[in-house]
């Protein structure tokens, strides 16, 4: 009995992650017009792997990148989201690891040692860790100054057998709203010896960030909006039906999310999470209303399946349009003299 309890306590977070991954992938297929992931081979890479990515769209970046990999992906996230014990537990189940910045309090910086130790434990078990090397999210595809976190993880695990570093570029045709086209571009995996050739830590830090810049910058390829389906005329009617069935609840969610995330970079992430959590309740409400009118089980099942498909059709035809949020004039592009900043 005790062994069973221990097994459940260990496997529950991983099981929850895998169970959530399925609806997340389905929801992304509706939320986005197209996700161009490139060749699938690297998504099945074995052994300890450090993913180093840019960060233009908050939590959504991690959701999209993590959903592509066959194995669970653990990723570092801003520590202020973990302040409440309940949130800390839930986010931990989703493979999120808190990391703190100086702006979040000097007293929290010591907790970063635990975060990097946790990364080393995951990599030692041949796991995958995702870190956003800029250390900040800006709704822009211009790379921001690189921080030390990725280099530190690489240096602390350089002797780990099979350890590799993989740069990942992610870009969107729109950084605000549904119906976006996303492109994920993978670089080549590198060993620690290639990225950390020096004996001095400071030289290795600069070398790592410089080489990551050289590899990551060409991978941030902003995609063109996905073209309309060739069967557009035939699918117009289902798209209109999907639009009419979803416009009212979607508009309500969008209005609340827009108000809550005004002047922040979190609109897309909060909108996606809200729709992911609330949409099943909307389907349940529709099902209960139809069941009250004695609609047969077969029709109820068909409607439950048809609603998301119609929603996807509506997204493909009626993309949410809004001017891009750009900070390019406010925040300078990456400078090599800044790549060792904390």
Domain locations in the chain as residue ranges:
11-224, 232-317
Structure tokens given for 284? 């349940």
Say what the pTM is.
Answer: 0.86
The DSSP H or E segment spanning 218 is: none
d(CA 266, CA 273): 11
Over range 305-317, report the average pLDDT: 90
Least confidently predicted of 80-94, 152-166, 259-273: 80-94
Neighbours of 28 (CB within 10 A): 18
Which residues fall within 8 angstroms of residue 289, CB to CB, at 6 or more apart? none
**What is the maximum alpha-carbon separation in the chain?**
75
Confidence of residue 37 (pLDDT cuts 50, 70, 90): very high
> CA 217, CA 236: separation in Å to the nearest integer?
39
Two structure tokens written together for 221: 């390829």
In the DSSP assignment, the letter for residue 152 is H
CA dihedral (25, 29, 35, 40) positive or negative: positive
Q: What is the pLDDT of residues 60-82, one digit of tens each?
A: 999 999 999 989 999 998 776 67
**Whether the predicted pLDDT of 9 surpasses 80:** no
The alpha helices in the chain, defined as continuous H runs, are 2-31, 58-68, 85-93, 106-109, 112-124, 149-156, 192-195, 201-216, 232-260, 267-292, 297-317
Task: Summarize pLDDT for 84-128 with one digit per residue, the tens.
Answer: 777 677 777 778 888 876 666 566 667 788 899 999 999 999 999
Burial zone of 79 (CB within 10 Å; 0-12 exposed, 13-18 middle, 19+ buried): buried
User: H or E segment at 76?
Assistant: strand 73-78
Residue 334: the pLDDT is 43
Q: Report pLDDT for 232.
A: 60
Task: Match 């986010």 to its residue by tokens.
Answer: 91
Contact 222, 174 (CB under 8 A): no
Give the torsion through C-alpha atoms of 206, 207, 208, 210, to 10 deg: 80
Between 3.40.50.2000, 3.40.1130.10, 3.40.50.720, 3.60.9.10, what CATH number should domain 11-224 receive? 3.40.1130.10
- Secondary structure of residue 198 in the 3-state scheme: coil
Q: Alpha-carbon distance 274 to 279, whole Å?
A: 8
Please, which pLDDT band fits residue 248 given cuts at 50, 70 and 90? very high
The tokens of 85 are what? 């014990």
| 1 pLDDT more than 60 | no
Cβ-in-10-Å burial (0-12, 13-18, 19+) of 268 comes to: buried
């Amino acid at each position: 009995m005790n062994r069973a309890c221990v097994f459940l306590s260990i496997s529950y977070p991983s099981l929850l992650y895998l169970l959530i991954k399925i609806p997340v992938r389905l929801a992304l297929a509706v939320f986005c017009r197209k996700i161009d992931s490139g060749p699938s081979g690297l998504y099945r890479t074995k052994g300890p792997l450090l993913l180093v990515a840019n960060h233009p769209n908050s939590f959504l970046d991690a959701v999209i990148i993590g959903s592509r990999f066959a194995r669970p992906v653990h990723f570092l996230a801003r520590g202020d989201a973990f302040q409440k014990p309940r949130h800390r537990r839930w986010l931990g189940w989703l493979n999120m690891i808190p990391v703190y910045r100086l702006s979040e309090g000097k007293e929290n910086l010591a907790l970063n040692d635990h975060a990097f130790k946790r990364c080393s434990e995951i990599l030692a078990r041949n796991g995958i860790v995702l870190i956003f090397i800029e250390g900040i999210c800006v709704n822009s595809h211009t790379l921001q100054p690189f921080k030390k976190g990725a280099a530190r993880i690489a240096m602390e695990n350089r002797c780990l057998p099979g350890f590799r570093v993989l740069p990942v570029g992610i870009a969107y045709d729109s950084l605000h709203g549904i119906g976006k086209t996303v492109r994920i571009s993978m670089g080549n995996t590198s060993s620690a010896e290639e990225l950390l050739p020096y004996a001095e830590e400071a030289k290795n830090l600069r070398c790592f960030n410089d080489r990551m810049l050289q590899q990551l910058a060409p991978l941030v390829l902003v995609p063109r909006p996905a073209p309309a389906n060739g069967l557009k005329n035939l699918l117009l009617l289902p798209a209109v039906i999907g639009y009419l069935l979803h416009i009212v609840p979607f508009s309500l969610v969008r209005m609340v999310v827009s108000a809550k995330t005004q002047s922040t970079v979190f609109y897309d992430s909060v909108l996606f999470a809200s729709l992911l959590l609330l949409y099943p309740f909307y389907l349940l409400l529709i099902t209960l209303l139809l069941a009250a009118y004695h609609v047969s089980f077969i029709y109820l099942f068909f409607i439950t399946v048809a609603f998301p498909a119609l929603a996807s059709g509506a997204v493909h035809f009626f993309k949410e349009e809004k001017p891009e949020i750009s900070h390019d004039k406010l925040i300078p592009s990456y400078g090599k003299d800044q790549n060792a900043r904390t």
